[in-house]
Amino acid sequence: MSAASGATYTVGRERGPGPRFVTIQAALDADLKPGDRVVVKAGVYHERLLVKRSGAPGRPITIEGERGPNGEWLTVIDGSEPVPTDGWALAPEFTPNHGVYRRRWTEGEPFCMVLVKDGTTYDLAEFAWRGGQHDAFKHINLPADQLAWGFSSEEGGPAEAKGLNGHPVKYWDGIEAGYHYRDGHLYLRFRDGDDPSTKELRWCPGGDLDGYQPHATTGAGMLLKDRSYVTLRNLHLRAAHHGVMIQGQETHHNVVDSCFVVNGQQKVLLEDKCSHNRVENCVLTEQNLGSDRWQRGPWGGGWSYQHGVSANYYYRYKQEIGSSTDDPRDAGGMRVSLNSNGRFAVSERRRRSEATLEVGIVG
């Protein structure tokens, strides 16, 4: 084996070339050298990963998954942890209660929560507290047949709701479920009042911007911090607060290639003076529980029922759901921060990114 090609390490239970590891992080903890390749066999790996070594010009360290015969991503990196099924009971704060459940929660605030259904992870909406008329906590108990209302203040709220776009769009259309965390309790509501103990739910920690500092790295599915010349290829990353975090002034010349990144807030987050990183041939997408009801593509001027559902989802996220006023259908792709104060300079708001994006950030 030539020095230029490096060594190959295998992750998974199947045999492969070179040393074999059961977990991806164990391979990343090894003494990897420039030019080395970590091949991750098909399977679901419940890990949040930290890249600890850098490659070199022309000799990157490559972390590569497997693809199926039709291009499907077979190597899945899931950054979430299971939500216990016990301890759920109807929340006593609501009378009548339309299906809001509560359990004691001491794990810290969830920044991503998903429902696992038939092997697919679906994002649940975060019903945030913003105060005043936009306090979503009181809306989490709205009945299943509650009509939706619009964005402008003259449209009032639930009491004056008339639907959207001339259709009887319901408040829960396109949302279907949501969660809320406060005072050491986790609240969860499914549209039809389903008991959470009957569902497979998973969550991930994280953190908002701390003043003008970069994002907390706790919930990163894959973290490259002050690492360079690393290539991520053919990986399916899901159920983390941020799928891939590329952070730090010494983080440069990394490539995210042909990956499928879903769930959470930002699929690829580049910030804190990182430079010359590429994201190419990737699918960065939302996978929300109610997204099958949306109207894909332009919807603002449409008048179908699906257009109305899309409008409702947009209004709800602008007003009361989520940790900010971002609509995840717009901001759920790639975000680039100019410098260490966390202010965003470029936001590539695409669900599907087919083109190469060369990011060169200075100062």
The domain ranges of the chain are 8-80+212-288+327-359, 86-205+293-319
pLDDT for the residue 26: 97
pLDDT for the residue 250: 93
Cis preceding linkage at 158, omega within 30: no
Question: What is d(CA 197, CA 203) in angstroms, rounded to the nearest whole number?
Answer: 14
pLDDT for the residue 212: 45
* Residues of the chain scoring pLDDT < 70: 1-4, 16-17, 129-135, 151-156, 208-215, 294-302, 322-363
| Cβ neighbour number for residue 300 with a 10 Å cutoff | 10
Question: What is d(CA 106, CA 221) in angstroms, rounded to the nearest whole number?
Answer: 22
Question: What is d(CA 316, CA 329) in angstroms, rounded to the nearest whole number?
Answer: 12
pLDDT for the residue 331: 43
Q: In what order do the strands lie in the sheet with 37-40?
A: 20-21, 8-11, 37-40, 61-64, 230-233, 255-257, 277-280, 357-359
Place of tokens 């339309």: 98
What are the CA-CA distances from residue 270 to residues 17, 85, 281 (Å)?
Answer: 33, 35, 17
Question: Do the Cβ atoms of 344 and 337 come closer than 8 Å?
Answer: yes
Closest CA to 52 of 36, 39, 76: 36
Let me know if domain 8-80+212-288+327-359 sits in CATH 3.40.605.10.
no
pLDDT for the residue 213: 56
| pLDDT per residue as tens digits for the range 11-27 | 998 776 678 899 999 99
Q: Which residues contact 218 (CB under 8 A, 6 or more apart)?
A: 205, 206, 207, 241
